[in-house]
Amino acid sequence: MSLIINGKNIDEDVVYAEFSSVKAYFESLGNVSCCERDDEFRGYAKQNIIARFLMAEEAERRMPAPAEEAIDAALDAIRKDQGEFQFAATVATHPDQMDGLRREMSTNPRVQALLEQVFKEVPEPTDAEVREFYEKNIAAFMTPEEVRASHISKNPGRGENRGEIYQKLCEVRRRIRAGADFDELAREHSDKGKEQIDLGFFKRGEYPEEFEIVAFSMDVGELSPVFSSTYGYHIAKVTDRKASEPRPFDEVREDARQALINERRKAKTQALVEDLKKTATIVDCEPEGESVPAHVHQA
């Protein structure tokens, strides 16, 4: 999976690390199963590395290098933040590691200066443009869906039989379905305080995932099966819902403005990278057996 960019070999370990980062991001979105998109992610990883490399080269060509004193100060800040021992162990055990770190300290501010120069060409959006962006991207400006739920919770203690606890809650659930009062049985059987029976309204991310999967999948008035989470066994009942809805434009005007600026900056940066590719030599050195064909971009 290695690359050669303008005669510089990019080690396959670097490409693999980027690939792993890309894949982990998509896995966090919950839309990856095993390895079916690995070729796609390898492509993303290589394009990310190519873009960063060409931007760094262009920054070094166009922007002045920071003073050695500024690099020394940046290294001292890292050393202070990590501690002398950790710093020595992670970045300074060999001279080439220190040289690499100094190059990074020299390149990063130059790339930032290049981007700031590029971003000066991005126009400040008008209020009409911001409103149009808001309307076209309304899904990004919605309130979060909320549910209100009550629950009965039982966390088996040390030495308690989990099976018996589960069966006991199954019996509680049967009584509720037969007409018994949920709150009354919750006060009797839940090991949470009575103030934690009605959880009020909550959004995703506020409670354990196992609990939220159940709560957000239920209709108002629905009683869940007995289910488990890291906190024990539960019976949940959804008592109300608040649907996601658009936030008023005046409330999110600044967020929409910044999002539009960021979109324009991203497009400007991508355009610069595409221009740099036109005069770059990029060799994709796919090992034998990889499904993505090798390709060459050459000036």
Output the average pLDDT for the chain: 88
If one counts the domains in the chain, the total is: 2
**Where residue 133 falls among pLDDT bands split at 50, 70, 90?**
very high
- Which ranges constitute the DSSP H helices of the chain? 12-28, 38-62, 68-82, 84-90, 95-119, 127-136, 162-177, 182-189, 209-216, 249-278
pLDDT grade, residue 261 (50/70/90)?
very high
CA distance 11 to 22: 17
Rounded to the nearest 5°, which phi and psi values hold at 283? -115, 120
- Tell me: do 116 and 149 sit in the same domain: no
User: Per-residue pLDDT for 92 more than 80?
Assistant: no
Do 263 and 115 belong together in one domain? Answer: yes
Q: Does residue 200 share a domain with residue 113?
A: no
Q: Is the pLDDT of residue 91 over 90?
A: no
- Per residue in 20-54, pLDDT (tens digit) is 999 988 888 876 667 888 899 999 999 999 999 99
Q: What is the mean pLDDT of residues 173-201?
A: 90
Q: Name the residue with higher pLDDT: 282 or 86.
A: 282
Rounded (5°) CA angle 57-59-60? 65
Are residues 166 and 52 part of one domain?
A: no
Let me know whether 70 and 103 are in one domain: yes
pLDDT digit string, tens, across residues 93-124 = 565 677 778 888 889 999 999 999 999 999 99
Instruction: Kindly state whether residues 107 and 39 are assigned to the same domain.
Output: yes
Burial class (CB in 10 A: 0-12, 13-18, 19+), 172: buried
pLDDT at 82: 79
Q: What pLDDT does residue 101 have?
A: 81
CATH number for the domain that contains residue 196: 3.10.50.40
Please state, in angstroms and rounded to a whole number, the distance separating the CA atoms of residues 93 and 80.
Answer: 17
Torsion over CA: 29, 31, 34, 35 (sign): negative
| Radius of gyration over every alpha carbon of the chain, rounded to an integer in angstroms | 28
Could you tell me if 109 and 198 lie in one domain?
Answer: no
Return phi, psi of residue 147, to 5°.
-125, 155
Please enumerate in sequence order all residues whose Cβ is within 8 A of that of 5, keeping only pairs 6 or more positions apart, or say none: 49, 50, 53, 54, 280, 281, 282, 283
pLDDT of residue 26: 87
Give dist(CA 85, CA 92) in Å, integer.
10
Say which amino acid occupies 145.
Answer: E
Please give the span between the terminal C-alpha atoms of the chain, in angstroms, as a whole number: 22
Q: Are residues 119 and 19 part of one domain?
A: yes
Say what the pLDDT of residue 285 is.
81
**Residue 296 binned pLDDT confidence (cut-offs 50, 70, 90):** very low
Residues 222 and 172 in one domain: yes
CB 110 within 8 A of CB 144: no
Closest CA to 41 of 53, 55, 28: 28
Token pair, residue 41, equals 């992610």
pTM of this prediction? 0.72
* Amino acid at residue number 44: Y
Which residue type sits at 128?
A
Identify which has the larger pLDDT, 64 or 2: 64
**Cα–Cα separations (whole angstroms), residue 235 to 22, 38, 222:** 38, 40, 11
Residue 136 lies in a domain: no
Residue 138 lies in a domain: no
At residue 246, the pLDDT reads 97
Closest C-alpha among 198, 182, 194, 191 to residue 156: 191
The average pLDDT across 212-226 equals: 96
pLDDT of residue 90: 65
- pLDDT value at 292 more than 60: no
In a domain, 176, yes or no: yes
Where a domain ends, among 217, 242, 267?
242
Quote the domain boundaries for residue 223: 143-242
